[in-house]
Amino acid sequence: MTAPAPLAGVIGDPIGHSKSPRLHGHWLAQLGVPGHYIPIHVRPDHLVNALDGLRALGFAGVNVTIPHKEQVLAHADQVTDAARSIGAANTLTFDAAGQLHADNTDAYGFLQNLRDHDPDLSCAKGPVAILGAGGASRAVIWALLDAGCPELRLANRTEDRAQALARRFGPRVKVVPVDRPDQLWSDASLAVNATSLGMATTQAVPFDLSGLPDTALATDLIYTPLDTAFLQAARAKGCATVDGLGMLLHQAVPGFERWFGQRPQVTDALRQVVLAP
């Protein structure tokens, strides 16, 4: 008797847009791993039953996408520091005893994407300016604080949300009003767009970039489109830029390794597979 092929997938509502099946499918085929990764539509009112069902069916684990990333924490037996601090999980693993382990690998993916362009993360050694105070911003803040960043400046359309994150993450996080780009960009070594503004190609840059130093690295979390208005404006200022696709690809690595037993690589071929229409 051979062991059954490992099963994993992604749960969300909706789920049809997820790039994860394509991404994990590429790695399964490339590495010759006898496993399966499937998209699973789970409505919020079915979340608990769905997790029980996945456990009963012998799933090794699942990725979690909108709207379940926060809710799954309440149903996990173990929660990593990253997931607890960020307040959301994107990677669930069932252990041999059926215990549910919740992790957040978005922070890891964010830093690995930067490391592809800046191996020493020197961009995180100076002040970092972050636009946005939603769920993705929490992962970026946690990642950069963990990487030793001395000062994070946070600007958000709804300033109260930025203030709440400053209280949550402590004194290295400072809130800057959106009408003070001078305070935001001064001496910044890294500029991050963690807003969802730019997902429509017609949308403008979220904030005035005129004071952004040309020595800063600029990165956007949005990967559709790949070359956002924010990245274009930063390049026009002379900045090097990093698009958001690498974050998506890197955040998937730890889950694949846990569920299927091999550590996959983020390559140009994978980028092309995920970008294909």
Q: Which residues bind ligand NAP (CB under 6 A)?
A: 106, 109, 132-137, 156-158, 161, 194-197, 199, 206, 221-223, 244, 247-248, 251
Confirm whether 19 is a catalytic residue.
Answer: no
User: What distances in angstroms separate CA 62 from CA 46, 51, 207, one per listed residue?
Assistant: 15, 9, 36
Residue 178 C-beta: closest distance to ligand NAP, Å: 8
End-to-end CA distance of the chain: 40
Please identify which of the residues 19, 69, 125, 174 carries the catalytic annotation.
69
| Minimum CB distance to ligand NAP, residue 85 (Å) | 15
Tokens for 96, please give them: 């041999």
> In terms of CB distance, is 127 or 132 closer to ligand NAP?
132
Q: Which is nearer to ligand NAP, 6 or 228 (CB)?
A: 228
In terms of CB distance, is 196 or 262 closer to ligand NAP?
196
**Nearer to ligand NAP by C-beta: 217 or 248?**
248
Q: Write the DSSP string, 38-80.
A: EEEE--GGGHHHHHHHHHHTT--EEEE-TTSTTGGGGG-SEE-
CA–CA distance, 138 with 141 (Å, rounded to integer): 5
Nearer to ligand NAP, 141 or 216 (CB): 141
**23 touches 256 (CB < 8 A):** no
Q: Are 16 and 66 in contact (CB under 8 A)?
A: no
Nearest residue (CB) to ligand NAP, 94 versus 207: 207
Q: Shortest Cβ distance from residue 128 to ligand NAP (Å)? A: 16
List, in sequence order, every beta strand (DSSP E) within the chain: 7-12, 36-41, 61-64, 78-79, 91-94, 100-103, 128-131, 152-155, 173-175, 190-193, 217-220, 240-242
Closest approach, Cβ 5 to ligand NAP, in A, equals 27
CA dist 224 and 23 (Å) reads: 16
Cα separation, 30 vs 24, in Å, equals 10
Where in the sequence numbering do the catalytic residues fall? 69
